[in-house]
């Protein structure tokens, strides 16, 4: 990382206050800082409740600096959302692609990948599940769930075909499974009970066994 140069705000001396040390950043560093600040504010207040003034103030820069990097609030919001969506999609796809395994284990991996994201990136998840006033490059949270469902559909289709089930139904089941996990994840984001693995185990229990064959104390088979 490039060295940062420090300068003093001379106004501090004139007012009899200790000089304020400002940190000069490279363009890349400043852009990342603004994204981090905006992500926090959008999670706290939503898009409508956040202003360019607040982003600039918290970052310690002037409003023109924010406009220079992103063109406005819509621009920085779109980048924040796009990054979160790509990160979550990559996490789920990676989890499903590791080691193959039994269909139930694949379902466990997908459920845990989403819950891991919610736990580790709560701000990002809160931003994505809000009603977005801006059409981002990768779309909305619903379109992201469709992308994840497509990955699940491909896997289910292979197993359906091998077991004599109609592979055309894989899309329906994929949508149902992903929707169930995503909606439960939104609820769990706020309550955080029971523990993450227990939530995943119960989700898989319902999806795999159905209401008529629920296990009394479901446990995950994968770690």
Asked whether residue 19 is assigned to any structural domain, the reply reads no
Asked whether residue 69 is assigned to any structural domain, the reply reads no
Asked whether residue 165 is assigned to any structural domain, the reply reads yes
Asked whether residue 115 is assigned to any structural domain, the reply reads yes
More confident residue, 11 or 194: 194
Write out pLDDT tens, residues 115-169: 999 999 999 999 988 755 444 444 578 888 888 888 888 888 887 888 788 888 8
Asked whether residue 25 is assigned to any structural domain, the reply reads no
Asked whether residue 2 is assigned to any structural domain, the reply reads no
Residues contacting residue 118 through CB under 8 Å, at least 6 positions apart: 125, 185, 188, 189
Burial class (CB in 10 A: 0-12, 13-18, 19+), 141: buried
What are the phi and psi torsion angles at 96 (to 5°)? -75, -25
- Convert 12-32 to b/e letters by CB count within 10 Å (16 or more is b): eeeeeeeeeeeeebeeeebbe
Q: How confident is the model at residue 23 (pLDDT cuts 50, 70, 90)?
A: low
User: Does the CA dihedral 16-17-19-22 come out positive or negative?
Assistant: negative
Is the pLDDT at 103 greater than 80? The verdict is: no
Q: Is 164 helix (H, G, I), strand (E, B) or coil?
A: coil
Asked whether residue 74 is assigned to any structural domain, the reply reads no
User: What is the tally of structural domains in the chain?
Assistant: 1
Residue 99 has a pLDDT of 61
Asked whether residue 104 is assigned to any structural domain, the reply reads yes
CATH code, 89: 1.10.357.10
Write out pLDDT tens, residues 169-197: 889 988 988 889 889 999 999 999 999 99
Q: How confident is the model at residue 13 (pLDDT cuts 50, 70, 90)?
A: very low
Cα angle: 111, vertex 115, 119; to 5 degrees: 170
- Domain of residue 185 covers 79-212
Give Cα 14 to chain centroid, integer Å. Answer: 46
Span 194-220, average pLDDT:
88
Span 72-82, average pLDDT:
93
Residue 153 has a pLDDT of 87
């Amino acid at each position: 990382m490039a060295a940062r140069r420090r300068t003093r705000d001379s106004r501090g001396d004139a007012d009899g206050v200790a000089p304020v040390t400002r940190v000069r950043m490279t363009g890349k560093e400043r852009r990342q800082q603004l994204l981090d600040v905006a992500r926090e504010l959008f999670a706290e207040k939503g898009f409508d409740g956040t202003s360019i003034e607040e982003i600039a103030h918290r970052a310690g820069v002037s409003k023109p600096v924010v406009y220079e990097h992103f063109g406005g609030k819509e621009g920085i919001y779109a980048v924040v959302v796009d990054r979160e969506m790509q990160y979550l999609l990559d996490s789920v796809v990676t989890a499903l692609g590791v080691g193959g395994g039994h269909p139930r284990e694949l379902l466990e991996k997908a459920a845990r990948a989403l819950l891991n994201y919610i736990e580790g990136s709560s701000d990002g998840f809160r931003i994505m599940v809000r009603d977005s006033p801006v059409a981002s490059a990768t779309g909305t949270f619903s379109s992201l769930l469709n992308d994840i469902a497509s990955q699940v559909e491909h896997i289910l289709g292979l197993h359906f075909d091998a077991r004599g089930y109609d592979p055309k139904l894989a899309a329906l089941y994929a949508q149902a499974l992903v929707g169930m996990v995503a909606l439960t994840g939104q609820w769990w984001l706020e309550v955080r009970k029971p523990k993450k693995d227990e939530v995943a185990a119960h989700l898989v229990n319902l999806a795999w066994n159905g209401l008529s064959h629920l296990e009394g104390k479901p446990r995950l088979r994968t770690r």
